């Protein structure tokens, strides 16, 4: 949805409250949203609410009252990448089907050259009436996309079909539609994320402070670009939102290696963002280790180097990126790791940068490539950092 231009039409329905959440989802994903309301929609949600969420003025009539300027429906119809009418009342759907043009939203609809999505919302008997079904069939024949209403309790108190599709469902439908033209449509991406846990006994383990936020943010951006994403994740509270993301949960470094190795050969891109434990106990105690008066000495052995193992079998055309978290000689150490692991790109984090690294919603990175090119970015939200990284990987994919 990044950079997409969406006209959101809101008609008179109790479901209009859901348009606020849909607006927020679209804006948060990087879309530009312009809202057009029918006169009746203002009885259910205020233009102020939607203008605040969309960060654009809400249009409700052909003429702006305060200036007398014309709201150009033709320009809006040509500007949009998609017109989404949610909720679409029975009245609005009927007017659309028959070319009636008595408000600004309907004029935008008749001017639109972009795909049109409708999310009907009405009582079950209104939805099932032959007139409504005929109107929806006619709209489908025009090429409009109908987002089927859901089943549940309705404003009338009855239970049945007629509930507007949930904002998340509409958002997902738009994402899937735009994926066909995404820059990574048809590509397969492997991502590792989060920490690993190496067990000492049944209740204790060795781990680190990784939250998985960076890896999950990367997965979302790749999925929005149309890729199929396999996300191998250590223990984390993060949750994947996009339907194109397949999460494979693991715990230990060995489990992460086995899952990653099984997926690597089919992946066009691999991004190793996990903070894998470098050592594990030589032996795991079968029972809880009891506290004693003396010191406890643990024998540790190295875990398998996932990046190096995959780098050895990387095939031509694959792009592989890794991460380096450093505290000193940052670029020098990152370049050594890039060469040793056979990475195409490495993303450098420094714990010396405030707001970067584990546990933060922000990050500050430097991206280095195998030609030792260096690109430094400012401190950003991790979702924005993820876009910078994905853009760099896409550039490398087309080198």
All domains in the chain, ordered by first residue: 5-179 (3.40.50.1950), 188-397 (3.40.50.10300)
Which of 172-181, 193-202, 293-302 shows the lowest per-residue confidence on average (mean pLDDT)? Answer: 172-181
β-pairing, 159-163 vs 150-153, is antiparallel
Q: At a CB cut-off of 8 Å and minimum separation 6, what does 30 contact?
A: 1, 2, 3, 4, 387
* Diameter over CA atoms, the chain: 86
Asked if residue 288 belongs to a known ligand binding site, the reply is yes
Catalytic residues: 208
Q: What is the pLDDT of residue 259?
A: 98
Place of tokens 């409504």: 132
pLDDT in tens, 274-330: 999 999 999 999 999 999 888 989 999 999 999 999 999 999 999 999 999 887 888
Mean pLDDT, rounded, for 4-28: 95
Mean pLDDT, rounded, for 60-68: 73
Residue 268 has pLDDT above 70, yes or no: yes
Q: What is the pLDDT of residue 208?
A: 93
pLDDT in tens, 19-38: 999 999 999 999 999 999 99
Q: What is the pLDDT of residue 165?
A: 93
Asked if residue 337 belongs to a known ligand binding site, the reply is yes
Asked if residue 323 belongs to a known ligand binding site, the reply is yes
Higher pLDDT, 61 or 89: 89
| DSSP class of 373 | -
Mean of the per-residue pLDDT values for the chain?
Answer: 91
Rounded to whole angstroms, the Cα distance separating 368 from 50 reads: 42
Asked if residue 187 belongs to a known ligand binding site, the reply is no
pLDDT in tens, 226-239: 899 999 999 999 98
Q: What is the pLDDT of residue 398?
A: 81
Polymer length in residues for the chain: 399
Higher pLDDT, 375 or 62: 375
Closest CA to 180 of 230, 140, 145: 145
CA dihedral 110, 112, 118, 123 (to 10 degrees): -20
Asked if residue 354 belongs to a known ligand binding site, the reply is no
Place of tokens 């004693």: 292
Higher pLDDT, 398 or 15: 15
């Amino acid at each position: 949805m990044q950079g997409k231009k969406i006209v959101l039409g809101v008609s008179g329905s109790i479901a209009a409250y859901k348009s606020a959440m849909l607006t927020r989802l679209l804006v948060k994903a990087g879309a530009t949203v312009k809202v057009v309301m029918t006169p009746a929609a203002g009885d259910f949600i205020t233009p102020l609410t939607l203008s605040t969420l969309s960060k654009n003025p809400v249009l409700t009539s052909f003429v702006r009252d305060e200036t007398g300027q014309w709201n150009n429906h033709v320009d809006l119809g040509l500007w949009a990448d998609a017109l989404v009418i949610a909720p679409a009342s029975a009245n609005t759907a009927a007017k659309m089907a028959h070319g009636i043009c008595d408000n600004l939203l309907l004029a935008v609809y008749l001017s639109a050259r972009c795909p049109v999505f409708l999310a009907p919302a009405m009582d079950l008997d209104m939805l099932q009436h032959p007139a409504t079904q005929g109107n929806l069939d006619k709209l489908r024949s025009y090429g409009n996309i109908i987002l089927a209403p859901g089943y549940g309790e309705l404003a009338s108190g009855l239970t049945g079909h007629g509930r507007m599709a949930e904002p998340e469902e509409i958002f997902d439908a738009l994402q899937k539609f735009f994926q066909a033209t995404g820059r990574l449509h048809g590509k397969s991406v492997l991502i590792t994320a989060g920490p690993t846990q190496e067990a000492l006994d049944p209740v204790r383990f060795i781990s680190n402070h990784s939250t998985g936020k960076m890896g999950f943010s990367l997965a979302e951006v790749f999925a929005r670009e149309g890729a199929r994403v396999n996300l191998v994740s250590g223990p984390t509270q993060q949750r994947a939102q996009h339907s194109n993301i397949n999460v494979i949960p693991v715990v230990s470094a060995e489990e992460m290696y086995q899952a990653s190795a099984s997926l690597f050969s089919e992946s066009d891109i691999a991004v190793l963002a996990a903070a894998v434990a470098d050592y594990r106990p030589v032996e795991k105690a079968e029972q809880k280790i009891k506290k004693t008066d003396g010191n406890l000495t643990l024998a540790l052995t190295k875990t398998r180097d996932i990046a190096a193992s995959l780098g050895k079998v990387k095939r031509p055309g694959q792009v592989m990126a890794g991460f380096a978290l450093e505290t000193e000689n940052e670029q020098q150490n990152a370049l050594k790791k890039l060469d040793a692991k056979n990475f195409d790109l490495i993303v450098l984090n420094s714990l010396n940068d405030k707001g970067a690294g584990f546990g933060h919603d922000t990050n500050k990175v430097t991206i280095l490539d195998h030609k030792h090119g260096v690109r430094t970015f400012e401190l950003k939200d991790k979702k924005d950092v993820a876009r910078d990284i994905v853009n760099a990987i896409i550039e490398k994919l087309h080198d």
